[in-house]
Chains A and B, each alone.
Chain A
Amino acid sequence: MSWTRKILRVNLSDGSCTSEPLNMEWANQYLGQRGLASKYLTEEVDPACDALGAENKMIMATGPLTGTMASTGGRYSVICKSPLTGAIACSNSGGFFGAELKFAGWDMIIFEGQSAKPVYLYIQNDKAELRSAEHLWGKSAWETDDIVRQTHQDPQLRIACIGRTAEHGCLYSAIMNDKHRAAGRSGVGTVMASKNLKAVAVRGTGGIGNVHDSKAFMAATNDGKAVLAENAVTGQGLPAFGTQVLMNVINGVGGLPARNMRDVGFEGAENISAEAMAEPRKSDGKANLTTNGACFSCTIACGRISTVNPEHFSVKDKPQYQGNSGGLEYEAAWALGADTGVDDLDALTYINFLCNEDGMDPITYGCTVAAAMEMFEDGVITTEHTGGIELRFGNAEAFVAITEQFVTGEGFAADLGLGSKRLCEKYGRPELSMTVKGQEFPAYDPRGIQGIGLAYATSNRGACHLRGYTIASEVLGIPVKTEMNDTDGKAELVKAFQDATALVDSAGLCVFTTFAWGMDNIAPQIDAACEGDWSVENCLETGERIWNMERLFNEAAGFTADDDTLPKRLLKEIIKSGPTEGQVNRLGEMLPQYYEARGWTADGKIPQETRQRLSL
């Protein structure tokens, strides 16, 4: 079975922690993690509710393969209504927390209500209790991790917590686990803060011993690991260079946006690339990159473990930032770097450390700073707003200074914490927010690459690369190459990626496996681990069911086809130079085809027959 078949329900209003059986009928329809927790959210929460009110719930959910030897089987997701977008949020994280939750005997934790005072949840196998966190409030996520670990004198404790930005009301705060892994996007940490919940600390010693067919499971997972090891991307590229392998590649094909997406192509890309991270520094002979690190059970190990040059202005008198920690991944390097025009690798690594230490999504943070920079250059935001900081594109010192203020909630922090949509509206320049459904773009320009534009526009959590990573096909040729500037066939491509990803996220696996794995590698692992029919066909249908369910949540929250769009800049302002010169995104050609491929109406509604087909 591989589900523990147990849910921990924590009512923060009355302080109770209760165990209840997992709804196995839903598990058979929605598998786990993203899909199953979204089903619970849909059934228990009014989509129109205030995301930061007591009626919103926050679910930490594992998948059936979380905590097993399946490669990358260590993931968990946080599901709730997002305060940034108002849409359904599902933020996925690696590290070791998810597996530990499973070893303690829980498939998921449902947090409901709001605590009157700060608390943290302490779980030791089947025992769970809320404890006072008044001494933790005001502490960073790193400090919180250290203090809770000391309190319980347990070096094996796994901790997920929020930093100070969530306490200050930043709308895109993350939940950090294992210090530098994040359920990063859509403000799930802000929801956690709204419940006065500072941390979840878990220790599980029960393990997982109920895999449905363990012999078949070991065979299927060993086959899967061999495929990952032999694949050039998952076996060589990602371990050696991490996701940062993309920086020069995407820049080279004319797909790297820069300076709040005003430009495409960044002249400083090489300075902040994987290659630059591996280059020994002149000062101490060490490279930015120390080594690669893995999340639980992962045989790819794409994670970056990095240091900042101790001589760099950002950390010179700060020994606590001179050691190793989670380094730059591609999306963060782009948002903090190319999108702000900053090509100072050490400054970006330091800012990324601060994002981890105090829990903010580096994509949304970088893009929001980028929007503020464009308004500063246009004279809409001035040094009076920023407290004297010259917030211009490319100014690394200014970016470091404003980030140090941001994490403590000082200065311009309250405005930057709004995210770019609300910030640009506040200053009268709404067209400068590079968002879909209120969430900022990741690192691929949809003018140069058509399909990813459609994926952004239709993503259920707002602009996101992890809801349908068509870059694999359009740039890297995985599983087959499609032309970047073609719109033909992109509707079907986007649908296929979206559905498959929903299933992978619901299994407890990492989507990076899909650089090498097809559903014919994934389904046998799920099928061996779980009871029921988990054939390739059923897995794909489950993914499609999950996608449609999320869409229905958003529809009830007030979203319509009008929200399936891109900012005007990406639809109207042509790329000025480079390999993709002259292009815009042709969303209008793709969107009707996408609705048709999905079996939706011309205005993006899900008709009865499609709901019936998917048992919704």
Chain B
Amino acid sequence: MQKSLHIDPGKCTGCLQCEMACSYEHTGTFNPSRSFIKVFTFHHEGRFAPYTCTQCDEAWCVRACPVDAISIDAATGAKVVSDDKCVGCKVCTIACPFGTINYSQSTGKVVKCDLCGGDPQCAAACPTDAITYIDADWTGYDRMLASASKSLPSAEVTA
């Protein structure tokens, strides 16, 4: 079963535990500036939104890379950058429509979410389940359920 990160911005409090967990997993430091997941705060609207790579099936970054540095992790489906192959040309950062693959000045390579090899630490650290790692076929389940419950004649739904 393939799993994917499921993000529910409505549950996010903006605490940045996910950013620290990500940087700790990948760099051994607590360092939001080197996190592959980013929480955006919309102050005026009173909203928070965690954002990271959605691991496209037909990934723009993979297609754009001239040296085949981005491969697919067979176990997780994650698009993973090989530091040995990446030449830091940044073409993938132009190709990606979502901005979730980025160049890192400190390493001279591009960096992106690799799903931590199947145990994403952002999801493990999230205190409110705004980020979960679930069956890829069912990322819409909660929203569908909420929507379905509204269509019932009675408001007393506990499912």
User: Which residues of A are at the interface with B, using a C-beta cutoff of 8 A?
Assistant: 67-69, 71, 96, 103, 156, 179, 204-209, 211, 214, 218, 225, 229, 239, 290-299, 301, 303, 305-307, 323-325
Interface pair A297/B17, CB less than 8 Å apart? yes
Knowing A205-B33, A298-B15, say if A293 contacts B127 (CB, 8 Å).
no
Min C-beta distance of B134 to chain A, whole Å? 20
Contact partners of A303 in chain B: CB under 8 A: 13
Interface pair B15/A297, CB less than 8 Å apart? yes
Give the docked Cα–Cα distance between A67 and B31 (Å).
8
Min C-beta distance of A382 to chain B, whole Å? 41
Cβ 8 A contact of B43, one of A96, A179, A205: A179
Which of B19-27, B62-70, B138-146 binds A? B19-27
Interface pair B46/A68, CB less than 8 Å apart? no
Decide yes or no whether B51 CB sits under 8 A from chain A. Answer: no
Interface pair A290/B29, CB less than 8 Å apart? no
Interface pair A206/B31, CB less than 8 Å apart? yes
Contact partners of B27 in chain A: CB under 8 A: 207, 209
A sample of 30 cross-chain residue pairs with beta-carbon separation below 8 angstroms, ordered by A number, consists of A68-B20, A69-B17, A69-B20, A69-B125, A71-B127, A103-B32, A205-B31, A205-B106, A207-B30, A207-B34, A208-B29, A208-B30, A211-B30, A290-B46, A291-B13, A292-B13, A294-B14, A294-B15, A296-B15, A296-B16, A297-B16, A299-B15, A299-B17, A299-B127, A301-B13, A305-B46, A323-B43, A324-B44, A324-B46, A325-B43
Give the docked Cα–Cα distance between A209 and B24 (Å).
8
Knowing A291-B46, A297-B15, A307-B46, say if A225 contacts B127 (CB, 8 Å).
yes
The digit string for B120-132, where 1 denotes a CB below 8 A from any CB of A, is 0000010110000
* Complex A-B, nearest 9 residue pairs according to Cβ-Cβ distance, in ascending order: A207-B31, A324-B46, A209-B29, A294-B15, A207-B29, A301-B13, A290-B46, A323-B44, A299-B127
Residue of B nearest to A289 (CB): B46
Q: Known pairs A296-B15, A298-B15. 5 more at Cβ < 8 A? A: A68-B30, A207-B29, A299-B15, A323-B45, A325-B44
Knowing A205-B31, A293-B14, A323-B45, say if A69 contacts B127 (CB, 8 Å).
no
Min C-beta distance of A225 to chain B, whole Å? 7
Residue of B nearest to A68 (CB): B30
Contact partners of A204 in chain B: CB under 8 A: 33
Interface pair A324/B43, CB less than 8 Å apart? yes
Min C-beta distance of B127 to chain A, whole Å? 4
Give the docked Cα–Cα distance between A245 and B151 (Å).
33
Contacting residues of chain B (42-62) with chain A, CB-CB under 8 angstroms: 43-48
Decide yes or no whether B28 CB sits under 8 A from chain A. Answer: yes
Min C-beta distance of A229 to chain B, whole Å? 7
Give the docked Cα–Cα distance between A307 and B46 (Å).
9
Knowing A293-B48, A294-B13, say if A301 contacts B29 (CB, 8 Å).
no
Residue of A nearest to B48 (CB): A293
Residue of B nearest to A204 (CB): B33
Contact partners of B13 in chain A: CB under 8 A: 239, 291-294, 298, 301, 303
Knowing A294-B14, A297-B16, say if A67 contacts B30 (CB, 8 Å).
yes
Give the docked Cα–Cα distance between A306 and B46 (Å).
8
Min C-beta distance of A237 to chain B, whole Å? 15
Give the docked Cα–Cα distance between A547 and B30 (Å).
31
Interface pair B31/A103, CB less than 8 Å apart? yes
Contact partners of A299 in chain B: CB under 8 A: 15, 17, 127
Contact partners of B23 in chain A: CB under 8 A: 207
Give the docked Cα–Cα distance between A214 and B24 (Å).
10
Give the docked Cα–Cα distance between A209 and B127 (Å).
23
Give the docked Cα–Cα distance between A10 and B26 (Å).
35
Residue of B nearest to A100 (CB): B32
Residue of A nearest to B11 (CB): A291
Min C-beta distance of A220 to chain B, whole Å? 14
Residue of B nearest to A142 (CB): B43
Contact partners of A296 in chain B: CB under 8 A: 15-16
Min C-beta distance of B23 to chain A, whole Å? 6
Knowing A69-B125, A229-B127, A297-B15, say if A291 contacts B47 (CB, 8 Å).
yes
Interface pair A208/B46, CB less than 8 Å apart? no
Min C-beta distance of B97 to chain A, whole Å? 20
Contact partners of B127 in chain A: CB under 8 A: 71, 225, 229, 299, 301
Min C-beta distance of B105 to chain A, whole Å? 9
Contact partners of A307 in chain B: CB under 8 A: 46
Give the docked Cα–Cα distance between A324 and B20 (Å).
26
Min C-beta distance of B83 to chain A, whole Å? 19
Min C-beta distance of B94 to chain A, whole Å? 20
Min C-beta distance of A73 to chain B, whole Å? 9
Min C-beta distance of A373 to chain B, whole Å? 32
Interface pair A69/B21, CB less than 8 Å apart? yes
Contact partners of A295 in chain B: CB under 8 A: 15
Contact partners of A324 in chain B: CB under 8 A: 43-46
Interface pair A208/B15, CB less than 8 Å apart? no
Contact partners of A67 in chain B: CB under 8 A: 30
Residue of B nearest to A301 (CB): B13
Contact partners of A103 in chain B: CB under 8 A: 31-33
Q: Which of A179, A207, A211, A298 has the most CB of B within 10 A?
A: A207
Min C-beta distance of B48 to chain A, whole Å? 7
Contact partners of B34 in chain A: CB under 8 A: 205, 207
Q: Which of B13, B27, B106, B125 has the most CB of A within 10 A?
A: B13
Contact partners of B20 in chain A: CB under 8 A: 68-69, 297
Contact partners of B45 in chain A: CB under 8 A: 323-324
Min C-beta distance of B130 to chain A, whole Å? 11
